[in-house]
Amino acid sequence: MNTDSVTSELRGSRSHWQQVWANFRRRRLAFISLVIVAIIYLLGIIAPLIQTHDYQETNIGKTQQGPDNENWLGTDRLGRDIYTRVVWGIQTTVIITATTLITGSLFLGVTMGLMAGYFRGWIDAVIMRIGEVISAFPDILLIILLAATLRPKIVELARAIEDSTNITGLVSSGVVDYLVIGVALLPLSWFGMMRLVRGQVLALRDAEYVEAARAIGTSTPRILFRHILPNVVSPVIVSVSFGIGAIALSEVVLSFFGLGVQPPRPSLGVMIGEVTARGGASVSVLRDHPEQLLAPIIVVWLLIFCWNIVGDALNDVFNPRAR
């Protein structure tokens, strides 16, 4: 047996996902980008372990200071440690990105796409019309409108729960902020995924293996999630990789406008807003200490840039025609 035959057999013995991973690793820029994203998210996840100060701790005697041994990235106008607030801001981004993806794009978007593509008829029409009505609104304006409208009601509900159950921290811990942002992003996070999955299901619903499953009496949920869903995972992964950066940016924009995460909970958008917001103090900070913007802006830029690189690579790996 010659070398080419051995190589061919080894490749054939690999699973599909092993081959996908091998192809992805050969794209060095994309692999490095994925490592960078993983490191950034890891910093956010372990923020309580790697913080050097409490993110609420102020030191009026040491405001607007540059980096030193005690404050690695310097301090802000209230004397708070910028490094600590950045890693906690990353954790905020990680939590909101994960919850929005799981509840919106993955759960709602994939489920609605499976139903619309498989059942068609009036179910497909209703789901599509609802999505089209929502998508007709300008994205960022709808998000801001929902966040501004929902926040007072959700905060009021959280305080009522705290008073009636003696549970504390629902508002101060940032849970309410996560809920507000997640709900605000939900209407826009599912429709694109739903259309993608719907298109794939329309092409697969009449495939021979699906017809065979129907013929032997397989239940509809099993057909959808056992036979059809595994065959639409590839485009879903590509879509998610492109969408994560957009979700992170939306969270930053909401926090920047004061509609997202509220102080004292750190957020990258809040940190940027505190330096660039209108007002005498903020103008002075932006003019005299623009370096305070570097860390949060670099993190946001890296997340968006790296996820786009990863998305392009995944599109090439899963779609041979795009190579």
- The tens digit of pLDDT for each residue in 133-158 reads 887 777 777 777 877 787 888 888 87
Q: What does the pLDDT read at residue 58?
A: 85
Calculate mean pLDDT across residues 220-229. Answer: 86
According to DSSP, residue 171 is labeled T
Nearest residue to 268 (alpha-carbon basis) of 237, 304, 299: 299
Mean pLDDT of 64-90: 87
3-state secondary structure 185-218: HHHHHCHHHHHHHHHHHHHHCCCHHHHHHHHCCC
Is the pLDDT assigned to residue 20 strictly greater than 60?
A: yes
120-130 pLDDT tens trace = 889 999 999 98
Q: What is the pTM of this model?
A: 0.80
pLDDT for residue 312 is more than 80: yes
| CB-based contacts of 62, cutoff 8 Å, min separation 6 | 71, 75, 79
Which range among 7-11, 70-74, 188-192, 286-290 has the greatest average pLDDT?
70-74
Arithmetic mean of pLDDT, 223-242: 85
Q: Is the pLDDT of residue 261 over 60?
A: yes
Q: Is the pLDDT reported for residue 72 higher than 80?
A: yes
Is residue 34 pLDDT above 70, yes or no?
yes
Distances (CA, A) of 223 to 109, 120, 144: 18, 15, 39
pLDDT at residue 32, as a whole number: 94
**What radius of gyration, in Å, describes the C-alpha atoms of the chain?**
24
pLDDT band at 87 (very low <50, low <70, confident <90, very high): very high
Task: Give pLDDT, residue 79.
Answer: 85
How far is Cα 188 from Cα 193, in angstroms, rounded to an integer? 10
pLDDT-wise least confident of 88-92, 113-117, 140-144, 157-161: 140-144
pLDDT value at 1 more than 50:
no
pLDDT of residue 321: 55
Convert 249-288 to b/e letters by CB count within 10 Å (16 or more is b). bbbbbbbbbbbbbbeebbbbbbbbbbbbbeeeeeeebeee
Helix segments in the chain, DSSP class H: 3-13, 16-25, 28-45, 47-50, 82-100, 110-119, 121-135, 139-165, 175-189, 191-204, 208-215, 220-222, 233-256, 268-276, 280-288, 294-318
The residue behind tokens 């826009």 is 188
